[in-house]
Amino acid sequence: MALPLSYSLRNLWTRKLTTLLTAGGMALVVFVFAAVLMLEAGLNHTLVDTGNVENVIAIRKGAGAEIQSGILRPAAGLIESQPQVETGPDGAPLSSKETVVLISLQKRSDDKPSNVTARGVGMLAFNLRPQIRIAAGRVFRPGSHELVVGKSIASKFQGAGLGEVIHFAGGNWNVVGIIDSDGSGFDSEIWGDAEQLMPAFRRQSVFSSMVVKLADPSTFDAFKHAIESDPRLTVEVKRERQFYADQSEAMATFIRVLGMTLTAIFSIGAIIGAMITMYSAVANRTGEIGTLRALGFRRSAVMGAFLVESLLQALVGGIIGLFMASFMQLVTVSTMNFQSFAELAFGFTMTPGIIIKTLLFSLLMGLIGGFMPAARAAGMNIVTALRSV
Amino acid sequence: MSDGNGAAPPLVRLHDITKSYKRGAQIVPVLSGISFDIGAGEFLALMGPSGSGKSTLLNLIAGIDQPDSGELLVDGVNIGALSEVELADWRAGNVGFIFQFYNLMPVLTAFENVELPLLLASLSRAERRDHVEAVLELVGLQDRAEHYPNELSGGQQQRVAIARALVSDPNLIVADEPTGDLDRESAEDILKLMQTLNRELHKTIILVTHDARAAAHAHAIMHLEKGELSAREEVTGH
């Protein structure tokens, strides 16, 4: 039979300062661990949610990103004429031929230049991305030098605010609207009329990518086969969500590897801290251990009581760390995406999965830190332990 | 001691018990060739100078230490042959401990301290509560059930320890210097309580003490000298 949970809980409470200091050390590690997972989830949320389940994107075969891709007008016509592509009320295919270029803008914070994605789109692009809404101002007028700007760009770059003017490609472009795509990658883009941006960048006949909406998402394989097996096309087709997930992979891997390496190093310190605390607890309660064993509690019960104490202490650290990490949701990170070489803003996202993983991580630290002291407690000779009273 | 008329078997029987300890490379003999019986319901005091082996002998009888050789039967069970786990289970059901410094868990209330041994028995929460309340009443501490050890006097703490020793209704109670940390008045109260347990509840009690006044509360006194039983003395007036 195990010792009551109250025995472990009250012992933690009795030495509350030590408990709090040890749990505090663990909380800092848990904070780093959770923050890394939240950053990765935020990046994933930003890029994966950029894609729409029903949409398919076509880029040049072998091009890892839109910026490296090129699709000629005739090829674009062939793609949108496939029978799987949904058509609008007017019979026109629901497709958006898009041009993606990088422009350099200066940051408001430090005047340093950074790459920003400028996307030339047709008006159907808004129908294909229903998550995008005009947060302020209006949509650009086709045939004009007008732009709408993602909310992350508008706040961070000079000239990108509503009513301001951006100078690039030898011309002035008026910002007439701010778009909000609920934290997706489009918040970090500038959109304008493709037919205006293409000549400005001397790309009259080449689009970067093409997005089409399938009438039935289950026909994706047939659509992909038709496009990729057509000898006239050197194009590869991906579901839009998959495309953006691939875009996040390099940066997500970097964040994960860096974060987990740091966490692993820090966690060794936290585990040693927990171990010292628990060894001290065992040393201070040697007489109690002898008494419990004399009363008939087995070694396993004593071991369990000290392990539970270490786990509870770690759980306190885990909860404090998670609580601190939850405030990171208020922070937005803006950095260059390795895949697109453009500025990308993303936040820290807390998910139920992260909460579970983080608490399990803190419990694992408690288990490792508490195991050896608990084993020492369980291994004590009863007579020797009783003599220490 | 057995009564000698052969009517009832002894509760504790020791035959040629030896015990030694290692101190570095040196082996120090503590008990050598100890043989005697303790009858059921007896109140026996073990006396002797420091280092005579009386606590070691008590530990062997209580099953918290094992002899090097010899046979040790308690209520017919050869406890020297039990495995560690079996011995722990045996102690839980058959022995009550009273220590010099009470050995209560400081983070548990008097009630919870007394309840501890019952956690090792298959009893419901209500049954445990009934048992604990009954023994706390027996030791006169029913109104101190929710007090923590540091809120009780030494005498009261020892009463809680006695209640803990009694709660699982063991036949054998071992007490190692139970009055060694108490003032004269409290010590007398504790010894009288132990006499009551012996007389009214028929508990077999082995008391280790170096205090002759404490030993006088027992039926008989056995003296240990350098690991050997040197004499047995019947106490008159019991």
Q: Tell whether A297 and A329 lie within a shared domain.
A: yes
pLDDT score for A336: 73
Chain B contact probe: residue of A293, A386, A388 with most B CBs at under 10 A: A386
- Please state, in angstroms and as integers, the Cα–Cα distance from residue A173 to each residue in A136, A140, A192, following that order: 17, 10, 9
pLDDT, tens digit, for every residue of B156-208?
Answer: 999 999 999 999 999 999 999 999 989 999 999 999 999 999 999 999 999 99
Q: What local confidence, expressed as pLDDT, does residue A340 receive? A: 66
Q: What is the pLDDT of residues A130-149, one digit of tens each?
A: 889 999 999 999 999 999 99
A213 and A264 part of one domain? no
B117 interaction partners in chain A (CB closer than 8 Å): 295-296
Nearest chain B CA: its distance from A282 CA (Å): 14
Cβ–Cβ gap B116/A292 under 8 Å:
yes
Q: Give a yes or no: residue A244 inside a domain.
A: no
What pLDDT digit, counting tens, does each position of A221-257 carry? 999 999 999 999 999 999 998 888 887 788 888 888 9
The pair of structure tokens assigned to A79 is 């793609």
Q: Give dist(CA A107, CA A113) in Å, integer.
A: 6
For residues B53 and B69, give the distance between their C-alpha atoms in angstroms, rounded to a whole number: 15
Suggest the residue from B82, B105, B113, B132 to mutate for an interface test with chain A (most A CBs closer than 10 A). B105
* Interchain contact A291–B (C-beta under 8 A): yes
pLDDT in tens, B104-163: 999 999 999 999 999 999 899 999 999 999 999 999 999 999 999 999 999 999 999 999
Nearest residue of chain A to residue B87 (CA atoms): A296
Cα-based torsion angle of the residue sequence A44, A47, A51, A53 in order, rounded to the nearest 10 degrees = 0
Chain A: closest CA distance from residue B101 (Å): 7
> Residue A243 falls within a domain, yes or no?
no
From A233, A259, A289, give the residue that closes a domain: A233
**A122 shares its domain with A222:** yes
d(CA A42, CA A45): 5
CA distances from A349 to A103, A132, A328 (A): 29, 20, 8
Q: Cα–Cα distance between A55 and A130 in angstroms, integer?
A: 11
**Is there a single domain that holds both residue A307 and residue A201?**
no
CB distance from B9 to chain A under 8 Å? no
Question: Could you tell me if A257 and A150 lie in one domain?
Answer: no
* Distances in whole angstroms, Cα of residue A254 to Cα of each of A43, A337, B175: 12, 11, 66
User: Is residue A148 helix, strand or coil?
Assistant: strand
Is residue B238 over pLDDT 70?
no
Residue B2 has pLDDT above 50, yes or no: no
CA separation, residue B201 to residues A334, A342, B40, B138 (Å): 80, 87, 12, 11
Residue where one domain finishes, among candidates A233, A257, A277: A233
Question: Which of the residue ranges A18-22, B1-5, B44-48 would you say has the lowest mean pLDDT?
Answer: B1-5
Per CB-CB distance under 8 Å, the chain A contacts of B93 are: 296
Write down the number of H helices and E strands in chain A. 12, 14
Tens digits of per-residue pLDDT, B71-120? 999 999 999 889 999 999 999 999 999 999 999 999 999 999 999 999 99
**A229 and A304 belong to one structural domain:** no
Q: Which residues of B touch A297 (CB under 8 A)?
A: 88, 92, 120
CA distance B122 to chain A (A): 9
How far is CA B59 from each of CA B98, B120, B174, rounded to the nearest angstrom? 12, 21, 9
What does pLDDT average to over chain A? 91
**Same domain, residue pair A224 and A253:** no
Same domain, yes or no, for A312 and A179?
A: no
DSSP state of B98: E
Other C-beta atoms closer than 10 Å to the C-beta of A160 total 24
Cβ-based contacts of B120 with chain A (< 8 Å): 1, 295-297
The DSSP secondary-structure symbol of A247 reads H
Q: Which of A233, A258, A293 is the last residue of a domain?
A: A233
Report which of residues B58 and A91 the model is more confident about. Answer: B58
User: For the residues of B68-84, what is the DSSP string, one character each?
Assistant: SEEEEEETTEEGGGS-H
Q: Which residue intervals of A285-351 are DSSP H helices?
A: 286-295, 299-326
- Flag whether A125 is in a domain: yes
Do A174 and A96 share a structural domain? yes
Which positions in chain A touch B91 (Cβ < 8 Å)? 294-296
- Judge whether residue B5 has pLDDT over 70: no
Is ipTM strictly over 0.95?
A: no
- Containing domain of residue A332, as a range? 5-48+249-386
Please report whether residue A163 resides in a domain.
yes
Furthest C-alpha separation in chain B? 53
Q: How many domains does chain A have?
A: 2
Q: What is the mean pLDDT of residues A118-137?
A: 92
Once rounded to an integer, what is the mean pLDDT over residues B28-46? 93
